[in-house]
Chains A and B, each alone.
Chain A
């Protein structure tokens, strides 16, 4: 198999150019699917027979929760690629995923707790999913803290990559242990609206919004990664050429 595309993608100028071309695509598609999903979810979809209008927060909550996991997966994959092939661009991508993933995790927590208020009667329930989401937020904060604590970029990249990979092994264990922890404490008494398979009028907007969030994530990661690449390569010739500065 020919791997030149892979190594070419790892060259900062090439990445910078391709990312610049991809961003508008992702961003516009994200805007389209997002608006369509919101119209479908907030206006067209019928109110839930049990939860009334309150359930509509699902259209932000679930995509945010999905993204919080996905961002970690992307971050860890990029970190692994950077660690194995010593690819600076991959480290830049991993670095830019962390803050976005943490924001999505935070969003999922906030919307989850706002949803909990009318449904469970409390803002915070030690529900296994919410709890593992909270632990996930701490993992992101640790990753960002480690990155911030190391001044040398190369060392910060590699150390935080090791942490991201350790986290990936740990995440499923944390997830299941938290599940197990709560299922022993108490059954799902309040949560038990055992997901009735959603009617398409509710499900389609949700899927659209998930897609929209993913595309939005892709666009933002690329924007941030471009910035990160510029910062890292600030002394490189290609940037001067790109900006048309006299060399």
Chain B
């Protein structure tokens, strides 16, 4: 089987499996909504004050819920041996992991991207900022999924995986958080947001290129 075809099959399989268990991939979305609801409750309901916090609240919540979702990425396939089969299949493992990460993003990242503008407007962002908020989350959540895949692969099958995963991934996600929040706050202020978007795009491209390689190395090590 050609790598392209295999990747496509893997995408189909993972999508089908994921869609059969909506509870699993809906949880990060619900978590995202709950966390962003906590911000006004913890500070003040005044929209003018919330507007200043909206980018931060949005991105911290997105980062945490993508972290929460990461445990779903490889866990099951690691336990039932699917990853092992992928590793010995003779197909390029980074490519297959990239396909898996894409599906993971479709199921857990895309809902956040779609819900992001809604949450932003609830936090006082003007309607005109919706495309900007959407675009920033689109690039940023992709990068977060890819960076997270490395962490998920490294902690595959570890007992204390959860907290460790956070400790590994959060420092690496700092640039995404900075540029994402920056782009979002520029969007809310209706200023041009090209500079942080370029940087966010650069990070997304870089992680799409390198993260699958590192994740593949980590998966192979975890399977040894």
Contact = CB atoms under 8 A, between A and B. Distances in A.
A150 interface: yes
A72 to B, nearest CB: 12
A181 B182 contact: yes
A73 interface: no
A138 B199 contact: no
Interface in A162-199: 162-163, 165-167, 169-170, 173-174, 177-178, 180-181, 184
Interface stretch (A3-11, A139-147, A211-219): A139-147
A145 B178 CA distance: 25
A216 B214 CA distance: 33
Nearest to B224: A155
Contact of B150 (A166, A174, A184): A166
Interface string B189-224: 000000000010001000000100010011001101
B167 A142 contact: yes
A18 B55 CA distance: 55
B174 A174 contact: yes
The binding surface of chain B is classed by DSSP as helix
A135 B172 CA distance: 9
Contacts of A166: 150, 172, 214
A162 B171 contact: no
How many chain B residues sit at the interface, stated as a range, is 20 to 34
Q: Of B155, B170, B174, which is in contact with the most chain A CB atoms at under 10 Å from its CB?
A: B174
A158 interface: yes
A247 B217 CA distance: 40
A145 B174 contact: no
Given A146-B154, A149-B158, A178-B174, A162 B168 contact: no
B164 A149 contact: yes
B167 A163 contact: no
Contacts of A154: 224
Interface in B129-183: 150, 154-155, 158-161, 164, 167-168, 170-172, 174-175, 178-179, 182
A135 B171 CA distance: 6
- A-B interface, 6 closest residue pairs, ranked by CB to CB distance from nearest: A177-B175, A138-B171, A158-B221, A142-B168, A142-B167, A181-B178
Interface of B: 150, 154-155, 158-161, 164, 167-168, 170-172, 174-175, 178-179, 182, 199, 203, 210, 214, 217-218, 221-222, 224
10 contacts: A142-B167, A146-B155, A149-B161, A149-B164, A155-B224, A162-B221, A170-B171, A173-B203, A174-B174, A181-B178
